[in-house]
């Protein structure tokens, strides 16, 4: 029987596991994941604000694999031998495959600066969220570093929670302007929201050193903190480089728009960990991994049947809704921007629907 090995329980693999419940294939499937839970980042800000309980933002992987007839191995892959078709895990498991699919997400960029590894809180891999949130909830002087969507949402969420508790807003630091890739109008809107909520926002300053209680910026500022959340964008997992697989300039696994590695067509990849040759500028976002899921499923089946597969083509615009605290959301779509409770309700509905699709009631 064909052996299909899945690395990581990312968005696209959740879809694969669900599809395996709906369509029986003559295939022996194993999933390797280091955590029993897959956490959904779209709901992290709501969790940090206290709007969701942890059970509402995570999927229990052993329940899902059991319902899908998949073997589950708790572990993290550390090396891939594409010629021999084997994967090594950090626990020493050696797993052979006929087809390998990788959806292991990304890590956090920029933590090479002195002190960051020791003192900064990092969410990725995503199962760290509970521990990170606990530390931030108990902080007196929390600081968020990173002016992208994730950093802005988390800073606003924590500020909202602190407001309910009568505590002061958080500090947000960004080396660039806030949401630098968004339209000017959207940037202005977010700037006003941050200002109205009372956050201290420091832009165009790079944190260059972190001691146990001080963040030192390139502009010579010393900022006191007791917990710092580091959200400065994605970084490629090391495994592809060390396994000598084809990678792009940043170390992400290079795949074709069929989501296959050209040199090793039995290897598929989706989500943050992959870089598509035809679309090198594609952002790293969960919504992309979700869109790739159906292509991945179709192309793995096509590979097994020796037929040609589908090609992934990204949308030119994606809907994004930033939770801005107190159940309001900033909806951004092209030139449209709406800051309203209804935007938050829409986000809440989309996110809950996503989680519900993969939740299983199977008991052991």
Residue from 44, 240, 297, 312 touching ligand FAD (CB under 6 A): that is 44
Distance separating alpha carbons of residues 275 and 284, to the nearest angstrom: 9
Per CB under 6 A, does 284 bind ligand FAD?
yes
Residue from 46, 271, 309, 329 touching ligand FAD (CB under 6 A): that is 271
Select the span of 66-74, 171-179, 269-277, 333-341 touching ligand FAD (CB under 6 A): 269-277
Per CB under 6 A, does 115 bind ligand FAD?
no
What phi, psi does 151 have (nearest 5°)? Answer: -65, -45
Distance separating alpha carbons of residues 221 and 8, to the nearest angstrom: 40
Residue from 4, 5, 9, 132 touching ligand FAD (CB under 6 A): that is 9
Which residues ranging from 170 to 229 are in contact with ligand FAD (CB under 6 A)?
Answer: none
Residue from 30, 126, 260, 299 touching ligand FAD (CB under 6 A): that is 126
3 state SS of 57 = helix
For the chain, what's the residue count?
A: 364
Q: Name the token pair of 172.
A: 């947000």
Least separation, in Å, of the C-beta of 12 and ligand FAD? 6
Per CB under 6 A, does 109 bind ligand FAD?
no
Whole-number Cα distances in Å, 131 to 115, 134, 306, 346: 20, 5, 45, 28
Whole-number Cα distances in Å, 229 to 7, 161, 168, 327: 27, 16, 17, 22
Question: Which helix (H) or strand (E) segment is 210 a member of?
Answer: strand 207-210
Residue from 272, 291, 297, 303 touching ligand FAD (CB under 6 A): that is 272
Whole-number Cα distances in Å, 81 to 1, 244, 255, 346: 21, 9, 17, 44
Query: Whose Cβ is closer to ligand FAD: residue 154's or residue 259's?
Result: 154
Per CB under 6 A, does 287 bind ligand FAD?
yes
Q: Name the token pair of 183.
A: 């339209």
Least separation, in Å, of the C-beta of 364 and ligand FAD? 20
Per CB under 6 A, does 32 bind ligand FAD?
yes
Per CB under 6 A, does 30 bind ligand FAD?
no
Query: Whose Cβ is closer to ligand FAD: residue 3's or residue 216's?
Result: 3
Angle among Cα 109, 111, 112 to the nearest 5 degrees reads: 115
Distance separating alpha carbons of residues 315 and 68, to the nearest angstrom: 30
Select the span of 124-132, 134-142, 259-267, 354-362 touching ligand FAD (CB under 6 A): 124-132
Which residues ranging from 228 to 247 are in contact with ligand FAD (CB under 6 A)?
Answer: 231
Q: Name the token pair of 327.
A: 């159940």
What phi, psi does 276 have (nearest 5°)? Answer: -90, 125
Per CB under 6 A, does 103 bind ligand FAD?
yes
Per CB under 6 A, does 33 bind ligand FAD?
yes
Contact positions vs ligand FAD (CB under 6 A):
7-12, 32-35, 38, 41-42, 44, 76-77, 103-105, 123, 125-127, 150, 154, 231, 271-273, 284-287, 289
């Amino acid at each position: 029987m064909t052996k299909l090995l899945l690395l990581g329980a990312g968005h696209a693999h959740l879809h694969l596991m669900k599809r395996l419940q709906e369509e029986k294939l003559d295939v022996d499937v194993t999933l390797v994941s280091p955590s029993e839970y897959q956490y959904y980042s779209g709901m992290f800000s709501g969790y940090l604000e206290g709007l969701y309980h942890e059970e509402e933002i995570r999927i229990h992987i052993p329940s899902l694999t059991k319902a899908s007839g998949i073997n589950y191995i708790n572990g993290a892959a550390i090396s891939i031998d594409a010629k021999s078709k084997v994967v090594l895990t950090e626990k020493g498991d050696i797993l052979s495959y006929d087809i390998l699919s990788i959806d292991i997400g990304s890590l956090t960029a920029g933590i090479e600066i002195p002190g960051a590894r020791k003192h900064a809180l990092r969410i990725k891999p995503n199962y760290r969220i509970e521990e990170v949130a606990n530390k931030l909830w108990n902080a007196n002087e929390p600081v968020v570093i990173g002016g992208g969507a994730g950093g802005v949402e988390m800073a606003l969420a924590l500020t909202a929670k602190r407001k309910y508790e009568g505590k002061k807003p958080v500090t947000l630091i960004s080396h660039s302007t806030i949401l630098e890739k968004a339209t000017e109008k959207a940037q202005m809107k977010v700037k006003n929201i941050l200002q109205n909520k009372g956050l201290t926002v420091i832009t165009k300053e790079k944190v260059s050193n972190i001691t146990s209680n001080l963040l030192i910026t390139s502009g010579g500022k010393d900022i006191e903190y007791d917990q710092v959340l580091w959200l400065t964008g994605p970084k490629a997992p090391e495994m592809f480089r060390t396994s000598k697989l084809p990678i792009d300039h940043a170390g992400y696994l290079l795949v074709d728009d069929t989501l296959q590695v050209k040199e090793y067509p039995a290897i598929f990849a989706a989500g943050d960990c992959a870089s598509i040759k035809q679309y090198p500028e594609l952002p790293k976002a969960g919504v992309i991994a979700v869109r790739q899921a159906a292509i991945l499923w179709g192309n793995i089946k096509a590979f097994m049947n020796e037929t040609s597969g589908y090609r992934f083509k990204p949308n030119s615009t994606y809907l994004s809704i930033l939770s801005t605290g107190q159940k309001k959301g900033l909806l951004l779509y092209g030139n449209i921007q709406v800051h309203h409770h209804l935007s938050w309700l829409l986000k809440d509905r989309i996110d809950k629907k996503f989680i519900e699709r993969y939740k299983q009631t199977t008991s052991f």
